[in-house]
Amino acid sequence: MATKLIAPRTGEGVEELTVTHWIKAVGDTVDEMESILEIETDKVITEFPSPVAGTLLRIDVPAGETVRVGESMGLVGEPGESTDEEDPSTSAVEAVAAPVQAQSSDQAGEATAVQEDIKKKPASEETEKSEITGGKAAFLSPLVRKMLAEHELDPEQISGTGSGGRITRQDVEAYLASTPKEAPSAPQLKKVADAAQLTAAPKAAPVPTDLPGQLIPHTSTRRQIAAHMVDSVLTSPRVLTVMEVDMTKVLTHRRANKAKYAEANVNLTLTAYFVAALAKALVEHRVVNATWTDEGIFTYNDVNLGMAVALGEGGLIVPVIKQAQNLSLMGLAAAINDLADRARNKRLKPDDVRGGTFTLTNHGTAGSLFAMPIINQPQLGILGTGAMQKRAVVVTDEYGNDSIAIRPMVYLSYVFDHRAVDGESGDNFLMDVKKILENWSD
């Protein structure tokens, strides 16, 4: 019997994946648990192993398209087997395989596992939801089926540009764009207007056809970043507060301990101090380490700190240091080294980028002094650290005498959701972070 390649649930709340690359082509043979395609979720690319040995008979979701959890991405079976959805032999057996983190071939075998948490829906329910009449129905990807059902479209009216006349997502979008639409209601118009105002520049500017240049297509990661940022801006009213921190005692401690940490193969970076200060302050300010809900503010027991890691032209990713409040400076530094290294080498696992309760971003690496970072939903705040500069500042000694001294200074930019955090609460939290750094001690 042919076996469907079912899109796995890679984590709580994940309902949709993107197929980024098919390692195998239709007609290729594949061994059991051999990687057959790559999928992306939360900007993490992982390999998906075939649950059975056989031949790739059909690709349901082409590279670059999305698929919902539990839907078929393709079909593996014996050469000559039917690929018709209505044929019982092609749907009688369905297997679910867990994604394997993209890595070296010897590591991939160890990371392979079978995921069993996706429950199959009754065949009658699946048939009802995906029922589309017409001869083209058997050759539609799950995404295209969903689009046709949502817009109540007949596939026979749409010309397919895919292989063998297959209808693609772009074909449906082109058809919708060329079809007159009903006038939207007043609330819909307002929502569209609000979104357009926030994203006017990219949406209002078509590709210039009369000027020389090149179009850089959006990657799946870039689209996810864009959608997440717009959603955050539309979701929460943001407030920015900035404070300046004297890093003298932090640098003194780092100079005294960097060699000792290096002996343990740990690079003691300034990020470790910022994370440690945040973890301590967030324990004391529970309303900051929280999420807004319609019923109330949900505060978290653990401090799971997201750490933004730049990937160059590939955008950025935010791996999470779990239970940061329980880690020593050495433990935090080691976790930061590990996550940053795996992020840049595309070896993060889906769980590494989930469950964050607050985020730290270091925009100062390129020289920026302070910024207004965007909150990583559904969190209530994000802290940005600027470039450290030596500046002349007024210092007061223990006797109350003022003098001018040269000190290493850093701006901390804290953006918070004003629905849950008031100005005084936000400033008190940031002041505590400042005090911890300025009075650093083991």
Residues 6+ apart with CB under 8 A from 226: 218
Per-residue pLDDT for 112 more than 60? Answer: no
Mean pLDDT for the stretch of residues 370-385: 93
Q: Sorting pLDDT into bands at 50, 70 and 90, what band is 158?
A: confident
Q: pLDDT at position 310, please?
A: 85
CA 182 – CA 17 distance, rounded (Å): 31
Which has more pLDDT, 411 or 159? 411
pLDDT of residue 97: 46
User: What pLDDT score was predicted for residue 180?
Assistant: 64
CA distance 363 to 22: 35
Letter for the amino acid at 301? N
Compute the average pLDDT of residues 94-103. Answer: 44
In whole angstroms, give the CA distance from residue 215 to residue 209.
10
> What is d(CA 303, CA 219) in angstroms, rounded to the nearest whole number?
31
Which of 228, 351, 418, 427 is an active site residue?
418
Tell me if residue 442 is catalytic.
no
211 vs 139, higher pLDDT: 211
Percent of the chain with pLDDT over 70: 76
pTM of the predicted protein model = 0.63
Catalytic: 151?
Answer: no
Per-residue pLDDT at 163: 53
- Which one from 422, 427, 432, 442 is the annotated catalytic residue? 422
Q: Which of 69-73, 119-123, 347-351, 395-399 has the lowest mean pLDDT?
A: 119-123
What tokens were used for 212? 């020389």
pLDDT at position 138 over 60: no
Show the 3-state SS of the chain: CCEEEECCCCCCCCCEEEEEEECCCCCCEECCCCEEEEEEECCEEEEEECCCCEEEEEECCCCCCEEECCCEEEEEECCCCCCCCCCHHHHCEEEECCCEECCCHHHHHHHCCCCCCCCCCCHHHHHHHHCCCCCCHHHCCHHHHHHHHHCCCCHHHCCCCCHHHCCCHHHHHHHHHHCCCCCCCHHHHHHHHHHHHHCHHHHHCCCCCCCCCCCCCCCHHHHHHHHHHHHHHHHCCEEEEEEEEECHHHHHHHHHHHHHHHHCCCCCCHHHHHHHHHHHHHHHCCCCCEEECCCCEEECCCCCEEECEECHHHCEECCEECCHHHCCHHHHHHHHHHHHHHHHCCCCCHHHHCCCCEEEECHHHHCCCCCCCCCCCCECEEEEECCCEEEEEEEECCCCCEEEEEEEEEEEEEEEECCCCCHHHHHHHHHHHHHHHHCCCC
Q: What's the confidence (pLDDT) of residue 383?
A: 97
Domain architecture of the chain: domains with CATH: 3-177 (2.40.50.100), 223-438 (3.30.559.10)
Greatest alpha-carbon span in the chain: 90
Q: What is the mean pLDDT of the chain?
A: 81
For residue 12, the model assigns a pLDDT of 57
Mean pLDDT of 227-244: 88
With b for 16 or more beta-carbon neighbours within 10 A and e for fewer, the 194-209 pattern comes to eeeeeeeeeeeeeeee
Q: Which two tokens stand for residue 27?
A: 């007609």
Better-predicted residue by pLDDT, 236 or 96:
236
pLDDT at 98 over 80: no
The one-letter amino acid at 55? T
Q: Report the pLDDT value the prediction gives residue 413, as an integer from 0 to 100.
A: 97
pLDDT attached to residue 117: 38
Q: Is 349's pLDDT higher than 60? A: yes
pLDDT at site 433: 98
The pLDDT of residue 239 is above 60? yes
The model's confidence at residue 432, banded by pLDDT at 50, 70 and 90, is very high
- Tell me the per-residue pLDDT of 276-289, one tens digit each, with 9 for 90 and over: 999 999 999 999 99
Give tens-digit pLDDT for 316-344: 889 999 999 999 999 999 999 999 999 88
Per-residue pLDDT tens for 201-213? 444 456 666 778 8
The Cα–Cα gap between 17 and 9 comes to: 9
Which has more pLDDT, 206 or 93? 206
| Those residues with Cβ within 8 angstroms of residue 94's Cβ, 6 or more apart along the chain or in another chain | 3, 4, 6, 72, 120
CA atoms of 147 and 179, how far apart (whole Å): 15
pLDDT interval class at 347 (50, 70, 90): confident
Q: What angle do CA 374, 379, 381 make, to 5 degrees?
A: 55
Q: How confident is the model at residue 132 (pLDDT cuts 50, 70, 90)?
A: very low
Q: CB–CB of 423/241 below 8 Å?
A: yes
Is residue 94 pLDDT above 80, yes or no? Answer: no
Q: What is the pLDDT of residue 252?
A: 97
- pLDDT score of 421 more than 80: yes
Residue with tokens 């505060």: 299
pLDDT band at 170 (very low <50, low <70, confident <90, very high): confident
Give tens-digit pLDDT for 389-410: 999 999 999 899 999 999 999 9
